[in-house]
Chains A and B, each alone.
Chain A
Amino acid sequence: MYPHSHHLDDQPILDVRKLSVRYNGHFALEEISFHLHAGERVAVVGPNGAGKSTLFKVVAGVLQPTSGQVNIFGSMPRGHVCIGYVPQRSQVDWSFPVNVADVVMMGRIAKLGPLNWPRKRDWEFVRRALDTVELSDLAKRQIGQLSGGQQQRMFIARALAQEAELMLMDEPLTGLDAPSQEGLLSLLDQLQRQDVTVMVATHDLEQAAEHFDRIMLLNHQLIGFGPPEEVLQAEKLLLAYGGRLQLGEHGPMLIDECCPPD
């Protein structure tokens, strides 16, 4: 009922080969290939509707690819419980009658197995996860009462309680104020020290360049994947963003309907 993960440690944590996903006749993702090693931190950038969420859902094993392969430590996503998916905040019902600790405990379910109730060990995981994201004081808060940054950190705590080794975060920085963004980015540093591999979808090219090891530039196809200075070049960005990109004197400026440059 609850499969266990099979990790081959000599395999990359994520290996994607010729991955394609088609919706109603057109490609959401087309022939994407890349691989990640443990502890890497990758920003996934691209215009709205470029397939970032689709990529995350396929990697998480939520969506079946039309063709191609996704392997986590050498086997298909469906066999793993080590993939943490942090949803966009707009996708969550914040009036749901649960508190912060309840949500973080949800991450323990796979390890608990059916018909078992949380044990002391599981509460210990929850406590430590909340400590890491600095939400211990708010453990009993209803989730709707949290600020945007706290909501995001709660989901990271849930992924930690899940013992996730690969975290997929869908636009975690969108809509946060500057201090909350800073807090989240320093939390990402901490995850990296714990050898958690992180993929973050973002709209902010500057932040991507500053805080991430590698950048994946996506617009249905994989346009670039590598260190920021290699990927964030005018011609590649033009290819990804088309007319929404303006080349200013300080480098490329993005005119995106979601996040106008400030």
Chain B
Amino acid sequence: MSFLLEPLQYAFMLRGLAAAVLVGIVCAVVGTYVVLRGMAFFGDALAHTILPGVALGYLVSGGARDVLFWWALGTAVLAALGIGAISKNSQVKEDTAIGIIFAGMFALGIALISTVRSYAVDLSHFLFGDVLGVSSTDLWVTAAFGALVLLVIFAFYKEFLTLSFDPILAVTLRLPVGLLNNLLLGLIAVTIAVSLQTVGVALMVAMLVTPAATASLLTHRLPVMMGLAAVFASVAGVAGLYLSYYASIASGAAIVLTATAVFIAVFTGKRIYSR
């Protein structure tokens, strides 16, 4: 019992747990569409692409952390719509174009941060997250934007479902396909901004993809998949933070490692069970 309770005496640990669970749930639900639509690479690229925006915010604010969310949000939305626009113009193959922009923007971000003296520490926070450094203001912002994302996913459930399963049907039903596609890209962008402090840009794709992929092994219904993914992500968030506390490893890495372990366990279990 004391094993479980001991970390909870620290306020930063409580805030960290709350943030990990909140971010986990939002990432998992949005991630369901990322998995179903084969957008893992897009999600990874988008997460990396926000680095220069965050770095710029960091430089402009003179090292303050609490404004970074807004810089991340702005950059993520712009980058998402930018990448969305590129994928329509087929001069270069879509994944190639995304790769070029993603690496270029990421390099720009690193270049900007490297102008600061405390370069290594700051960069690692952006790359890998710092969930134990979450302030209560951060927590409220995370909760508010997370709730907004979930609300939109819920409100346009049937539209997103149809668009993801059969885009041609969506057109023949005269759904506003372009608008809905951009809305979904926007939701992924907001999710990434919200998750920045918890897992950082480099591990973000794991939060989007791994719990949803784990859930997809166990169910054939989308709402169940979303629910299961949220559960897996929450478990990974909590267990990962305990792992981080007792094994003294980086929190973002611990969360992602736990999620990966859950995926491997479910994957293996299913292979054995179905034999």
Contact = CB atoms under 8 A, between A and B. Distances in A.
Contacts of A103: 165
B220 A99 contact: yes
Interface in B164-221: 164-166, 168-169, 171-176, 216, 219-221
A3 interface: yes
Contact of A114 (B159, B219, B224): B159
A64 B174 CA distance: 14
B209 to A, nearest CB: 15
Given A106-B158, A109-B162, A98 B171 contact: no
Interface in A44-87: 57, 60-62, 78-81, 83-85, 87
A97 B222 contact: yes
B166 A106 contact: yes
A110 interface: yes
B159 A61 contact: no
Contact of B165 (A60, A98, A112, A115): A98
Interface in A86-144: 87, 92-93, 96-99, 102-103, 105-107, 109-110, 112, 114-115, 117-118, 142, 144
Interface residues of B, number: 25
Given A106-B158, A112-B158, A114-B159, A61 B172 contact: yes
B34 to A, nearest CB: 14
B51 interface: no
B161 A78 contact: no
B134 interface: no
A178 interface: no
A83 B155 CA distance: 26
A85 B219 CA distance: 28
A140 to B, nearest CB: 9
Interface size bucket, A side?
Answer: 35 or more
Nearest to A83: B172
A62 B220 contact: no
B36 interface: yes
B166 A109 contact: no
Nearest to B216: A97
Contacts of A115: 155
A114 B183 CA distance: 14
Interface string A1-31: 1110000000000000000000000000000
Given A97-B221, A109-B175, A62 B168 contact: yes
B190 to A, nearest CB: 20
B135 to A, nearest CB: 35
Given A97-B36, A97-B221, A115-B155, 12 more contacts: A3-B174, A62-B171, A79-B174, A80-B174, A85-B172, A87-B169, A98-B165, A106-B166, A109-B158, A110-B174, A158-B169, A162-B173
User: Shortest 3 CB-CB distances between A and B: which pairs?
Assistant: A142-B220, A110-B173, A106-B162
13 contacts: A1-B176, A2-B175, A61-B172, A62-B168, A87-B166, A87-B168, A97-B221, A102-B221, A107-B173, A109-B158, A115-B155, A142-B220, A144-B220
